[in-house]
Chains A and B, each alone.
Chain A
């Protein structure tokens, strides 16, 4: 029983990381129909920025470092959109072009991180290290609980943001009809840039949280998360906040159980198998709405 609970707890904390990253993908995909490949690289870059700041300028203060990292990641997101996506978008070119461009950005960021950080693992500052709580036999570290709580808070915040905030509602409007928004005089470019900012900040939160959870950082942290988070987005239903979140939790928990009771290789297999199955049964994902075909 304790094994079962332990795996569940670990699955939920990993699921939180997937969910946070998945929202970033979902946000941008719903607006531009673009798989933003650079998101996984932002995940890594912000963790590296956090590490660099923490070990030099803001030594000691996790909160200050975190705020600076968020600002940097947000700015990075806007810049990526401005340089690599906007010129293509404004010419009205296919999103396949934007996709390749984002792959280019991903390569550049990853190589820069690797060049400045090196490829060795390094210890990452974590909160309340060595503190554990026993939840009915499942050993839960303080950072796991923090991650789960932070994820829930951000989810509530994002829900409020997209439902009640002017900017958030603007983003939702964009995802429904970009062209109409433009005609209505909405600042489409700024809003899209902002969606990249928000997506990058979410990636930064999950990147830093993940490294805190592992209490170490190496340049391969982003590689595995990228595809999984995107899979989670699609599994839940693209463009749906709750879809991305539920998708993230389903994948992470399923993976943990399969590797806990069977083998780790099978667990990677299972997440993609689940995805294909769900898409065959319900092509729009669990929460996705049916697309209207227009003639």
Chain B
């Protein structure tokens, strides 16, 4: 029991309780913002597993998000599958995509991973754009129905909100369990010093493949929920900015800190809407958004105090810093 009462878990509990009562108090507008935040939470937690625990900065996480969204959208469009069945294929296909991306990782390490993930996302996006027969290309898929679970149809956004909240909680629990499992410990050892880890008998490649696959699956789930929320998907939504936004959430929330990611998601999902309040910012809203990013990084302290420890050593931390330390 004591093990569970860590500050992180308490923060998590506070956020979840807050989220759970939110729909009772607020308008559909804020509900919408909160749903967006929830999707960002699942999406960013999956990236945090890769970045914070796996030590791999992925620039192309939007690829898995889009694969998830398109899997469920295409299955509905071509075969009229309900969410309860297409969900299984979402897991399967995004998992396979993660596996595919992980394969070159046996040879490629460090800085080159970034560019591989970036290219992978571009390629996935180009396939979606041009595979007209399956994805309808740029026409987009219109009229995706609300979620249908074994015949139970969601009729309003409040149901959708709670359904997504369940996924957020599940994701958080699974992520934390993973971090403390043998896999998580292996990954952290690899992240901190891959050569030492290898010397200790940890096989790098299988661990990397597993973490990529799991991370891809959760990003895919977030994407599939997105498709049903928006009722419409088109390729240009899943551009590089989606990945950058996700990285920003993870970094602001603190690498390897999952409850921080929740706060980061809330912060970056509300911020653009919050800036709307200021009329003088009207056309300069995104400039203000950019400034906030710079300032937060400048202050060095990620918002919830999840200061970067030795998290991404060997990849993004400067060499001299490592050697001095």
Residue numbers of A with Cβ under 8 A of B are: 29, 32-33, 35, 37, 83-84, 87-89, 91-101, 103-108, 111-112, 115, 177-180, 182, 227, 230-231, 234, 238, 265-266, 268-269, 272-273, 275-276, 279-280, 283-284, 291, 293, 295
Contacts and interface: CB of A to CB of B under 8 A. Distances in A.
Nearest to B129: A265
B286 A94 contact: no
Contact of B297 (A97, A178, A283, A291): A97
Nearest to B285: A111
Interface string B69-86: 000000000000000000
Contacts of B57: 96, 99
9 contacts: A84-B294, A88-B300, A94-B316, A103-B244, A104-B292, A107-B286, A178-B318, A179-B318, A293-B195
A95 B317 contact: yes
A179 B324 contact: yes
Given A35-B114, A97-B308, A291-B110, A103 B293 contact: yes
B57 to A, nearest CB: 6
A108 B115 contact: no
Interface residues of B, number: 55
Interface of B: 51, 57, 104, 107-112, 114-116, 118-120, 122-123, 126-127, 129-130, 193, 195-196, 240, 244, 247-248, 251-252, 255, 283-284, 286-287, 289-294, 297-298, 300, 308, 311-312, 316-321, 323-324
A178 B294 contact: no
A101 B251 CA distance: 11
A269 B320 contact: no
Judged by DSSP, the binding face of B is helix
Nearest to A275: B119
A177 B195 contact: no
B325 to A, nearest CB: 9
Give the top 9 A-B pairs by smallest Cβ distance, nearest first: A179-B320, A104-B293, A107-B290, A108-B290, A104-B294, A272-B119, A95-B316, A101-B297, A104-B290
Contacts of B115: 230-231, 234, 275, 279
Contacts of B294: 83-84, 101, 104-105, 108
B116 A276 contact: yes
Nearest to A101: B297
B120 A93 contact: no
Nearest to A226: B240
A104 B268 CA distance: 13
Contacts of A107: 286-287, 289-290, 293
Contacts of B298: 84, 87-88, 101
A91 B292 CA distance: 19
Contacts of A37: 244
